[in-house]
Amino acid sequence: MRHTHQYFLGVTVAVCVRYLPRNLMLFLGNILGCFAFYVLRIRRKQVFENLRFAFGNQKSDIELSRIARGIYKNLGKTLLEFLQLPRMNGTRIRRIVDTSELCKMDSILKEGKGAILLGAHFGNWELLGAAFGLGGYPINVIGRLSDNRRIGHTIDRYRGLVGMKVIQKNSSVKKVLRALSKNELVAILMDQNTRKDMVFADFFGRSAATAKGVAVFALRTGAPVVPAFIVREGKYHKILIGNPIYAHSSENSDNDIQKYTAQFSKVIESYIRQYPDQWFWLHNRWKTQPKNKSNK
């Protein structure tokens, strides 16, 4: 019953937000973020702990507070932008997103091996996927179905409306390999703590349990790994496409996986350092630690 109430409340809000003028929607997203930061204080303690650990003495308390407020404002606007995805098309997305760097993918896909898009919960990551899909690129995204199945299916339907094909985590391996063999894109966000199929990689100077799937798929298929991020710039967004990274196998596969996972993790860190208010700091990225090692 609780899930049913959540679903109908979510649908009602989504319909109301869908047709709002963009400026009003962004204004409300800003208010929503401030409300979550100042009033609800959702995971605020975790955010400041993460920021202080990551930046130490590099940033003052005033700077960290500014970054923290920006994080919540970005998330508020990201949520409402996602609810407007059903109205999005190629023309509309180009009005709000600078997609000029997407053309870098053309030469990469000419190699015929597909590509793995290395991403994170950064900027409006859902709008990034929409830009690829509406731009005519065959994009698959790895997702996890919500505990509320009806809401989860609605989220996946929204993604499908803008050209994203969703691959659920529990059935991802064969589908990822099939997509790459068809010269398609597979977007994987590898910036969250995990306890399965992982290795420990340095992230802001501390060991972080990191999914090894990107490295495994790259080594197995030869598909290039392409950093793909979207940055919020005021009312608009800009897509940033990094240089492709090619994983080369050696006789020690475990070492290869460790090496490339660490490299990919550092790429994500580099973008977060440039735009610290655009990452999802609410998550306890360092929750899982190596055995016999302190969390501090």
Residue 205 structural domain = 2-278
Question: Which pTM does this prediction carry?
Answer: 0.94
In order, the DSSP letters of the chain are -HHHHHHHHHHHHHHHHHTS-HHHHHHHHHHHHHIIIIII-TTHHHHHHHHHHHHGGGS-HHHHHHHHHHHHHHHHHHHHHHHTGGG--HHHHHHHEE-GGGGHHHHHHTTSS-EEEEE-SBSSHHHHHHHHHHTT--EEEEE---SSHHHHHHHHHHHHHTTEEEEEGGGHHHHHHHHHHTT-EEEEE--S--SSSEEEEEETTEEEEEE-HHHHHHHHH-PPEEEEEEEEETTEEEEEE---B-----S-HHHHHHHHHHHHHHHHHHHHHHSGGGB-TTS-TT-S--TT----
pLDDT of residue 295: 45
Structural domain includes residue 118: yes
pLDDT of residue 27: 98
For residue 296, pLDDT beyond 70:
no
Structural domain includes residue 285: no
pLDDT band at 149 (very low <50, low <70, confident <90, very high): confident
Structural domain includes residue 290: no
How do residues 278-295 score in pLDDT, each as one tens digit? 999 999 999 999 987 544
pLDDT of residue 144: 79
pLDDT of residue 13: 87
Structural domain includes residue 242: yes
How do residues 236-258 score in pLDDT, each as one tens digit? 999 999 999 999 999 999 999 99
Structural domain includes residue 225: yes
Average pLDDT, the chain: 94
pLDDT of residue 2: 74
Structural domain includes residue 214: yes
pLDDT band at 12 (very low <50, low <70, confident <90, very high): confident
Structural domain includes residue 245: yes
For residue 276, pLDDT beyond 70:
yes
Structural domain includes residue 126: yes
> In the chain, how many domains are there?
1
